[in-house]
Amino acid sequence: MKIAVVLRQVPDVVEELVISDDGRSLSEDDVMYLTNEADDHALEEALVLKARAGAQVTAVSAGGDEAKEALATAVAKGADEAIHVAVPFEHRGDNARLASVLGPMMKSAGYDLILTGVWAADQMDAGLAGGLATQLSLPYVGGLVSMSLDPNGAHAVVRKEFPGGRLGVLEVSLPAVFGIQSAEQPPRYVPVSKVLAAKKALRVREQGEPPAVAAGVRASKLVKSGSEAKAEMLPGAVPQVAEAIVRILRERGIA
C-alpha cells in the first residue's frame, strides 16, 4: 500500500502579518511559514494507517526552504520518502496550480491513497484535494475524521463530518484522494534530536519544473481584518466587570 501525503506551508498567524506594497499579497520578507494544520493531521492519519496496515508513506511538501524542514519532521515522525515541490512565493496558496503540478507526478507513481488537509489556512480557491482528485480521475471525499482500509486494499470506509455533530459513513473504492479534517489521534510529538538527525540524513527528491498553467484565483486587494466593529470592552477588575455583565443581562431580561 502506497500513501502520499501533501504538506502545504502556510503563513504563521502568530507573527504579525504584513501586507506588501502592492496591496494584494503578503510581504515576503515578513512571512514565517508553518505546516498547514489539517495537512499535519493528514500526515498523522497516514502514519496511523502505516502502523496499522503496513504502508509506505511518501511526504510531499510544497513551498520554499521551510517546506524542506517540514519534510525532515515528516521523516522523523515515520515517513519513508520525501519529495519537495518548489513553489515560488507569488504562487503560494494557489491550490489549482499545485494540483496541476502534482497531478502528473502522482499519476505515474501509482499511489493507493493520497491524503492532504481538507482545508488550508491560506486558501481562497477550491483547495488542493478535490482538484487533484479530478486531475487523477480519482474519487474524492473530504472532511474525514477516521478511516479503515479493506485488507485487500480495494476499499476504504471513511467517516466524514457533517454539521450538527453528525457523521457520514461512506465506502470509497481505492485508489482515492481524501481531505483530512482531523486524524484519529492528535499529531504526534517528535523530539528535536530526531528531527535534526532526520535533517542530516534527509534525501529529498525535487519535483521538476512545473508546466505552465493558468493560475487560480488571485486577490485584487488584501487587507488585515479586525477593522470591523469590535466588542464594547468592559473595563475594570473582576468585581466591576461582573457587575457590568449582570447589569447588561438584567437589561435584556436574561438574568
Partner 1 sequence: MNLDQVVLTGILGVSALLFLVRVLSIARGVRKGTSEVWWDHLGVRIKNVVLDGIFQRKLYRERPAGILHAFIFWAFVFLFFSVVEIVVAGYIPGWTLPLGPLNGPLYLGQDLVAALGIVGVVMAIYRRTVTKPRRLMHEGNRAAIVMLLFILAILVSFLLYTAARIVQNAAAAEAAWRPVSGILATLLSTAGGAGIAPGLESAMWWTHVVALFTFMAWFPYTKHSHIIFAVFNVFFRKPEPAGAMRPVPPERAASPGASTIRDLSWVSLLNAFACTECGRCTDNCPAHESGTAMDPMHLMMALRDAVLVRAGTQARTAGAAADGGASSGEDLFLAVHSPEAVWSCMTCYACVDGCPVSNDHVSKILEMRRQLTARGELRAGLQGALESFSRYGNSFKAPPKARTKWVRNGGLALRDARKEPVDVLWFVGDYASYDARCQALATRTARVFDRAGLSFGLLHEGEWNSGNDVRRVGEEGLFETLRDHNVESMRACSFHDIVTTDPHTYNTLKNEYPHANGGRILHYTELLDELVRSGRLRFSKRLGYRVTYHDPCYLGRYNGVFDAPRRILAALGVDLVEMPRNRSKSFCCGAGGGRIWMEDIPGEAQRPADLRVKEAAALEGVTVLAVACPKDYVMFTDAVKAAGLEGSLQIRDIIELVEEAL
Partner 2 sequence: MIPREVVVVAEHVGGLLTDVTLEILAGAYEMARSVGWRVTCLILAEDPKPFQALPLAADRVVVVTDPLLGSPNPAAYARVLPHVVKDLSARLVVLGNTSLGIDLAGALSHDLGAPVVSGCVGLRAEGDRIIATSRLCGGKLLAQVEPPGELGIVLVMPGTFHRELGMRDAVPPLDIRSSPVPLDNLPVRFVELQEPKMGDVDVTKASVLIAAGRGVQSKENLVLLEALAKELGGAVCATRPVVDQGWLPRTRQVGRSGMTVKPRLYLALGVSGAPEHTEGMKASGLIVAVNKDPDAPIFDVAHYGATADLLELVPVLTEKIREAKGTQ
| Binding span for partner 1 by CB under 8 A among 110-118, 133-141, 194-202, 239-247 | 194-202
Among 54, 88, 110, 191, which residue interacts with partner 1 (rule: CB under 8 A)?
A: 191
Q: Give the cell for residue 38.
A: 489539517
- 196's contact among partner 2, partner 1, none, with CB below 5 to 8 A by partner kind, is partner 1
Among 190, 202, 213, 244, which residue interacts with partner 1 (rule: CB under 8 A)?
A: 190
Under the binding rule (CB under 8 A), the answer on residue 38 touching partner 1 is no
- Cβ 168 vs Cβ 25: under 8 Å: no
Pairing of strands 113-117, 176-180: parallel
Q: Which is nearer to partner 2, 121 or 197 (CB)?
A: 121
- 122's contact among partner 2, partner 1, none, with CB below 5 to 8 A by partner kind, is partner 2
To the nearest whole angstrom, how small is the minimum distance from the Cβ of residue 21 to partner 2? 16
> Any alpha helices (H) in 63-119, and if so which ranges?
65-77, 95-109
Cβ atoms within 10 A of the Cβ of 38, count? Answer: 24
For the four alpha carbons of 98, 100, 106 and 108, in that order, the dihedral sign comes to negative
Under the binding rule (CB under 8 A), the answer on residue 52 touching partner 1 is no
- 157's contact among partner 2, partner 1, none, with CB below 5 to 8 A by partner kind, is partner 2
The rounded distance, in Å, linking the Cα atoms of 26 and 255 is 46
- Cβ 218 vs Cβ 87: under 8 Å: no
- Cβ 8 vs Cβ 74: under 8 Å: no
- 212's contact among partner 2, partner 1, none, with CB below 5 to 8 A by partner kind, is none
3-state secondary structure 118-141: CCCCCCCCCCHHHHHHHHCCCCEE
Q: Which is nearer to partner 1, 214 or 238 (CB)?
A: 238
- 193's contact among partner 1, partner 2, none, with CB below 5 to 8 A by partner kind, is partner 1
| Binding span for partner 1 by CB under 8 A among 8-16, 150-158, 204-212, 221-229 | 8-16
Under the binding rule (CB under 8 A), the answer on residue 12 touching partner 1 is yes
- Cβ 31 vs Cβ 92: under 8 Å: no
Judged by the rule CB under 8 A, the positions of this chain that interact with partner 1 are 12, 14-16, 34, 186, 188-197
